[in-house]
């Protein structure tokens, strides 16, 4: 039997490519930039499998361009870039990379939380510029974290991991879940409280966003939500940018209606809302939540195993339309 043809839309860590090459003919976008849409569509025309990124739309147009496709593996846990119902309708299995990036992304949320609370980037800037005049009792005062209330919006895998990491800081934890059902682990381990979104906004000193992007969460954080938060509150987002109305966030930060924000994701990546990059009370990262060497390698091997399983007619480990294998 001839080996299947696989296209990888951008270079991923080598161990994933090695796995693919053992079982398939692998072609890859050799550059370190996304392919223009037309070129991507041309590249996948004769492929049975594609391993792709969250920056690519995997939709009817994509599937039309790849008539031989028998599997698509997303190199991401988020899958708002994939039209899963359309894939299922065409009986094409699709997968994502959960679990292997949970701790990395939760750690990134903490990095942002502390960076904003203790004004790490501002302070670093003063040191580097040579402008520091020496120690002072009132310089660069930040917000304490220990004992403050942590609000988790979307206590799934990553949100729960972020919450569990708060144990050392003895934080009361409130949370929401997509299902509205309580989280057993958070209740047991932290005595956390499932609350309404409104109550979470009112009670939290720090809010960390982990909800997936869907029609129910788009612009969940808008001007009205910021108005209900404490003026001392800090908002962190390592999930998906469009969950926050970014222009409204810039206004809220500029007018100090909330104290600060730490962002890893944006509404229109790679762009930021005008003014965001000028605010001292925002810390902005270039979508690196899963970006540890460990996680990115594990994502590569998981995505590769998923894709090879699909091409083998087997259910992948982390399938987004498992009903195809029922
Ligand atoms: C990153 O944003 C991911 O969804 O893995
Ligand atoms: C600060 O450096 C202190 O010793 O209080």
Look at the alpha carbons of 30, 36, 41, 45 in this order and tell me if their dihedral is positive or negative.
negative
| Of 307, 293, 305, the residue nearest 101 (C-alpha) | 293
Among all chains, which residue has been given the structure tokens 């799934």? 156
Residues 46 and 5 sit within 8 Å (Cβ to Cβ): yes
Q: Whose CA is nearest to atom 5 of ligand 1?
A: 76
Q: What is the mean pLDDT of each run of 10 residues along the chain (326 residues)?
A: 93 97 96 93 98 97 98 98 98 98 98 98 98 97 98 98 98 97 96 98 98 97 98 98 98 98 98 98 98 98 98 98 97
Q: Model's pTM, two decimal places? A: 0.96
Q: In the prediction, which pLDDT does 31 show?
A: 85
Separation of alpha carbons 253 and 321, rounded Å: 40
Domains of the chain: residue spans and CATH: 5-100+293-325 (3.40.50.720), 102-284 (3.40.50.720)
Counting from 1 in the atom list of ligand 1, the atom nearest the Cα of 287 is: 2
Counting from 1 in the atom list of ligand 1, the atom nearest the Cα of 78 is: 4
Q: Which of 193, 254, 269, 315 is catalytic?
A: 269
Q: Which of 119, 287, 296, 305 is catalytic?
A: 287
Report the SS3 class of residue 6: strand
Counting from 1 in the atom list of ligand 1, the atom nearest the Cα of 75 is: 5
Q: Is 287 a catalytic residue?
A: yes
With a Cβ cut-off of 6 Å, ligand 1 is lined by 54, 76-78, 101, 289-290
Q: Whose CA is nearest to atom 4 of ligand 1?
A: 78
Separation of alpha carbons 288 and 112, rounded Å: 11
| Of 26, 20, 21, 80, the residue nearest 53 (C-alpha) | 80
Q: Is 240 a catalytic residue?
A: yes
Other CB atoms within 10 Å distance of the CB of residue 70: 18
Alpha carbon distances (Å) from 144 to 123, 148, 149, 163, 269: 16, 8, 11, 17, 31
| Of 76, 48, 131, the residue nearest 287 (C-alpha) | 76
């Amino acid at each position: 039997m001839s080996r299947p043809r696989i296209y990888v839309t951008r270079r991923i860590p080598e161990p994933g490519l090695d796995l693919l090459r053992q079982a398939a003919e692998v072609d890859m976008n050799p550059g370190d930039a996304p392919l223009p849409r037309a070129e991507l569509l041309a590249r996948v025309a004769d492929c049975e499998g594609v391993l792709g990124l969250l920056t690519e739309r995997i939709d009817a147009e994509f599937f039309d361009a790849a008539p031989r496709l028998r599997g698509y593996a997303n190199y991401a846990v988020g899958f708002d870039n994939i039209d899963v119902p359309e894939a299922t309708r065409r009986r094409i299995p699709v997968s994502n990379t959960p679990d292997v990036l949970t701790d990395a992304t939760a750690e990134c949320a903490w990095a942002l939380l502390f960076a904003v609370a203790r004004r790490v980037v501002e302070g670093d800037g003063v040191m580097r510029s040579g402008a520091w005049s020496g120690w002072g009792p009132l310089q660069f005062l930040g917000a304490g974290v220990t004992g403050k209330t942590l609000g988790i919006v979307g206590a799934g895998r990553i949100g729960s991991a972020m919450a569990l990491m708060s144990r050392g800081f003895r934080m009361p934890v409130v949370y929401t879940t997509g299902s509205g059902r309580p989280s057993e682990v958070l209740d047991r381990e932290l005595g956390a409280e499932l609350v309404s979104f409104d109550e979470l906004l009112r009670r939290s000193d720090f809010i960390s966003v982990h909800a997936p992007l869907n029609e129910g969460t788009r612009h969940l954080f808008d001007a009205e939500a910021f108005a209900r938060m404490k003026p001392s509150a800090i908002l962190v987002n390592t999930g998906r940018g469009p969950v926050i109305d970014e222009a409204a966030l810039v206004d809220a930060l500029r007018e100090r209606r909330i104290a600060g924000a730490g962002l890893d994701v944006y509404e229109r990546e790679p762009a930021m809302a005008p003014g965001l990059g000028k605010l001292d009370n925002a810390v902005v990262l270039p979508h690196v939540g899963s970006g540890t060497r460990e996680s990115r390698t594990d994502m590569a091997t998981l995505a590769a195993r998923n894709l090879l399983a699909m091409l083998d007619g087997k259910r992948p480990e982390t399938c987004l339309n498992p009903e195809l294998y029922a």
